Amino acid sequence: GEDVEQSLFLSVREGDSSVINCTYTDSSSTYLYWYKQEPGAGLQLLTYIFSNMDMKQDQRLTVLLNKKDKHLSLRIADTQTGDSAIYFCAERRPGYSTLTFGKGTMLLVSP
């Protein structure tokens, strides 16, 4: 497909794990990214993974990459109410210095 695809909405309870999924477009994409956007703010780079890696862990965040299926996921352990935000997946396609973004997944964490 031409677009980076993400589900629009995810609701979890505080303390649970959250998994946000993304399907990107180009199996040759060199870097895949996760950004977080809180209301009224810009995008914060959460983490990113190079295409030759399958997994990357950074504190509560775990990124899994399946290049064959062009599938990227972000797992947030012990989700907190402060994690409520919109999460964007992005890819850097070969030959491009710009990033292509999905439309974002709104994560709502309830107490």
Partner 1 sequence: EAGVTQSPTHLIKTRGQQATLRCSPISGHTSVYWYQQALGLGLQFLLWYDEGEERNRGNFPPRFSGRQFPNYSSELNVNALELEDSALYLCASSFGGEKLFFGSGTQLSVL
Q: Does 53 bind partner 1 (CB under 8 A)?
A: no
For residues 36 and 79, which CB has a smaller minimum distance to partner 1 in the complex?
Answer: 36
Q: Does 35 bind partner 1 (CB under 8 A)?
A: yes
- Within residues 54-93, the interface with partner 1 by CB under 8 A covers 88, 92
Q: Does 96 bind partner 1 (CB under 8 A)?
A: yes
Cβ proximity of 65 and 49 under 8 Å = yes
Q: Does 52 bind partner 1 (CB under 8 A)?
A: no
Instruction: Give all strands (DSSP E) within the chain, no chain letters.
Output: 5-6, 9-13, 18-23, 31-37, 43-50, 55-58, 61-66, 71-76, 85-92, 100-101, 105-110
Out of 12, 43, 61, 106, the only residue in the binding site for partner 1 (CB under 8 A) is: 43
For residues 46 and 87, give the distance between their C-alpha atoms in angstroms, rounded to a whole number.
9
Count of residues that bind partner 1 according to CB under 8 A: 21
